[in-house]
Amino acid sequence: MRLIEDHERLIYVDHAATTPVRAQAREAMIPHFAESFGNPSSLYALAQESRNAVDEARERVAGVLGCRTREVVFTSGGTESDNAAIKGTAHAMRKSGRHLVTTAIEHHAVIHSCEQLEDVGFDVTYVPPDATGIVDPEAVANAVRPQTVLVSVMLANNEVGSVQDVRTTSDLVKEKAAGLGTSVVFHSDAVQAAGKLSLDVDEMGVDLLSLSAHKVNGPKGVGALYVRRGTPIEPLIAGGGQERQRRSGTENVPGIVGFGVALELANEERHSFNDRCERLREQIVTGILERVPGAILNGHPQQRLSNIAHFSFQGVEGEPVLLGLDFAGISASSGSACSSASLEPSHVLIAMGMDPSLAVGSVRISLGIDNTQEDANAIMDVLPDVLRRLRAMPSLAARGPLS
């Protein structure tokens, strides 16, 4: 029997992992699966319908970023955008230097790209955060050397929600590089920040910016990389030369169209979204901290995304907690969706200085456009009960949901 007997629908609070496609984006995509199915690279009228749709979507994305349309490169998602930014720039600038700077709390798409570059002779500095998940801009700038070609600092962390001061970091990095007589490209992974924070690339002072559609109620399998004019970058994918020779492959027209609509709407609604999610998040945080002994809220207390609450619980592991929530009709996660199957503690929490035995007992609640006050109330009721049951029966803590 489910713990939530009066809640008829699934309570989905894993929006940092993915989001449902909103109706406006679905409707915009549908014609491009059938009637307007042409290849945008062809010349006939049917193909030009697809080309026009891609161009319109590019204008939508550029409008959100405050950039030129030609600076928007469509990709298969945030992971490809991060890979293209890190590897593409590093290889394009390898004659100038082979040193990169990033943070220890980046998404795995950045971390693993840097590790792959280390395997082929690049040197990478991973700047640690403080205990709240904030990276000191001066520490990032101080890591810049004469051989540094790229710095990558995410705008908002996908696990704990802490928001970095990208503008200050970029300014200090560029100032340090100028003093050394060099040039450094600055990249930011803004995948989790889209729809919550301003993405104006000039305000942030970035040269490269990664985005993903399915984090803003768009379709999976599509994203974008902003590439400031003049930024050296080698294409990650070679082929027919689409996207101005920067990313080959026939464009995913339906996905790109849905992405453009979803991102534009998310940006227009971000203030109301933030107001509503922050209210619900604070209620959940207050309720959990009051009702669960030993609960710890991770991330910066103020400098954080409006929709993410990340907790660690002493004496339990995250997996049975999540299974208990799922049994009650609540879908949450332990952190990054890309590593949810791993039994290893979060690299983000470890970098923040958390003991591994505590880090494994973590749960992330991330709110979205459809979450309600009733959802928040249910979470505050169910999560403490799941934790009480697990703590009372430690032999079951690693086995699964409690009946």
Separation CA 214–CA 219 (nearest Å) = 5
Known catalytic residue at 114:
no
| Section 374-401 average pLDDT | 81
Q: Across the beta sheet with 99-103, what order do the strands follow?
A: 72-75, 223-227, 208-212, 185-189, 148-152, 99-103, 123-127
**At 376, which amino acid appears?**
A
Residue range 37-65, pLDDT digits in tens: 999 999 899 889 999 999 999 999 999 99
Q: What is the pLDDT of residues 183-238, one digit of tens each?
A: 999 999 999 999 999 999 999 999 999 999 999 999 999 999 999 999 999 999 99
pLDDT in tens, 111-133: 999 999 999 999 999 999 999 99
Domains of the chain: 11-16+270-396 (3.90.1150.10), 23-268 (3.40.640.10)
Q: Which burial class, exposed, middle or buried, applies to 71 when counting CB atoms under 10 A from its CB (0-12, 13-18, 19+)?
A: buried
Q: Is the pLDDT of residue 396 over 80?
A: no
**Tens digits of per-residue pLDDT, 3-26?**
444 456 799 999 999 999 999 999
Mean pLDDT score across all residues of the chain: 93
Q: What percent of the chain is modeled with pLDDT above 70? A: 93
Give the angle subtended at the CA of 78 by the CAs of 348 and 163, to the nearest 5°. 45
Say if CB 124 and CB 243 are below 8 A apart.
Answer: no
Query: pLDDT value at position 395?
Result: 57
Cβ atoms of 76 and 213 within 8 Å: the answer is no
Indicate whether 2 pLDDT > 50: no
**DSSP letter at 165?**
-
Residue that wins the pLDDT comparison between 259 and 6: 259
User: Which pLDDT belongs to residue 393?
Assistant: 77
The per-residue DSSP string of 357-401 comes to HHHTSEEEEE--TT--HHHHHHHHHHHHHHHHHHHH-GGGTTT--
Terminal C-alpha separation, the chain: 7
Q: Which of 67, 114, 277, 338 is catalytic?
A: 338
pLDDT above 50 (res 339):
no
- CA angle, 83 as apex, 80 and 86 as ends, to 5°? 145
